[in-house]
């Protein structure tokens, strides 16, 4: 089998696209879809074993992928990374700022170190990647940047550090789209809802109980899957989105549009998830 993308074959032929956090979850899935559509994908992360595994998967499927280990929170490392990619492979056509991470905790229990770690990963790292890709490549040849944020418009109780970082990234998206548009650079963001991804297996057991109940708060009656985020990311990177810039697309099954305490949801039927990723791995907690 191969990736069943809804986009036209060859949509990203001869394009160089960076995916941070490419070793697992949404990043892994997105890298597979981009490679299936002809892109040379640059997998960025800190875990070499995971990056090597995804690279091997893509090569086995007939795609092109390269990986680099990099801590995107380190400014000089990011500068050197982008310089190396451009020197060896040419201009960067696309960037998916997917790398991130957080942990559940009320604001009163978050230490400064915990706060700084989440802000640095989810906001500062994405800024550094985007800035260097723009300064070193896209300012000359144009391109598309897509950032991953979250549903933080009504606050994120229990994950306030992540909410603050994602809100910052959404605003950065808008500002960068305006400032960099003259160079033919589009900057957008995607806000995933509750997605059944391997990252869910990393949360504490008591929080996993909450995760299993999330589908009851989604009008479509289920969690999303990685391919449903990847397809949106790929669309925004593609030529079909050539006049879309500075926007955030929510992919959340309408979960953010109401309150179950005021309007209880009816039992959902006709559940038809998009199953594009041939190598999808179901989180252990849902098995």
CA distances from 101 to 5, 93, 121, 157, 196 (A): 27, 25, 7, 16, 15
pTM: 0.95
For residue 210, the tally of other CB atoms under 10 A from its CB is: 12
What's the confidence (pLDDT) of residue 57? 98
What's the confidence (pLDDT) of residue 198? 77
Nearest to 226 by CA among 203, 201, 251: 251
Residue in the structure block whose two tokens are 């009163």: 108
CATH class held by domain 16-286: alpha beta
Instruction: In whole angstroms, give the CA distance from residue 87 to residue 96.
Output: 20
What's the confidence (pLDDT) of residue 130? 98
Q: Which two tokens stand for residue 287?
A: 């098995």
CA distances from 103 to 106, 267, 275 (A): 10, 30, 28
What's the confidence (pLDDT) of residue 208? 85
- With a CB cutoff of 8 Å and minimum separation 6, the contacts of 152 are 162, 163, 164, 166, 167, 170, 191
- Domain positions in the chain are 16-286
What's the confidence (pLDDT) of residue 210? 87
Are the C-beta atoms of 236 and 249 separated by less than 8 Å? yes
pLDDT digit of tens for each residue in the chain (287 aa)? Answer: 899 999 999 999 999 999 999 999 999 999 999 999 999 999 999 999 999 999 999 999 999 999 999 999 999 999 999 999 999 999 999 999 999 988 889 999 999 999 999 999 999 999 999 999 999 999 999 999 999 999 999 899 999 999 999 999 999 999 999 999 999 999 999 999 999 987 788 888 888 888 889 999 999 999 999 999 999 999 999 999 999 999 999 999 999 999 999 999 999 998 899 999 999 998 888 88
């Amino acid at each position: 089998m191969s990736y069943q993308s809804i986009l036209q074959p060859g949509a990203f032929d001869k394009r160089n696209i960076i995916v941070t956090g490419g070793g697992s979850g949404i990043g892994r899935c997105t890298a597979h879809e981009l490679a299936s559509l002809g892109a040379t994908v640059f997998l960025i992360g800190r875990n070499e074993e995971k990056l090597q595994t995804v690279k091997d998967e893509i090569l086995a499927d007939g795609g092109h992928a390269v990986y680099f280990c990099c801590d995107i929170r380190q400014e000089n490392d990011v500068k050197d990374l982008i310089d190396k990619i451009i020197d060896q492979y040419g201009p960067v056509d696309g960037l998916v700022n997917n790398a991130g991470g957080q942990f559940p905790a009320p604001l009163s229990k978050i230490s400064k170190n915990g706060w700084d770690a989440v802000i640095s990963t989810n906001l500062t790292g994405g800024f550094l990647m985007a800035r260097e890709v723009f300064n070193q490549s896209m300012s000359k040849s144009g391109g598309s940047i897509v950032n991953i944020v979250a549903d933080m418009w009504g606050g994120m109780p229990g994950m306030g550090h992540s909410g603050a970082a994602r809100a910052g990234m959404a605003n950065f998206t808008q500002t960068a789209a305006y400032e960099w548009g003259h160079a033919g650079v589009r900057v957008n963001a995607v806000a995933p809802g509750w997605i059944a991804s391997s990252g869910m297996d990393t949360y504490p057991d008591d929080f996993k109980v909450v995760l299993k109940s999330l589908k009851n708060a989604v009008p479509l009656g289920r969690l999303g899957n990685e391919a449903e985020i990847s397809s949106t990311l790929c669309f925004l990177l593609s030529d079909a989105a050539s006049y879309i810039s500075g926007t955030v697309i929510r992919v959340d099954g309408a979960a953010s549009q109401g309150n179950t305490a005021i309007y209880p949801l009816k039992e959902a039927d006709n559940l038809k998830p998009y199953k594009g990723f041939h190598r999808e791995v179901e989180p252990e907690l849902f098995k």
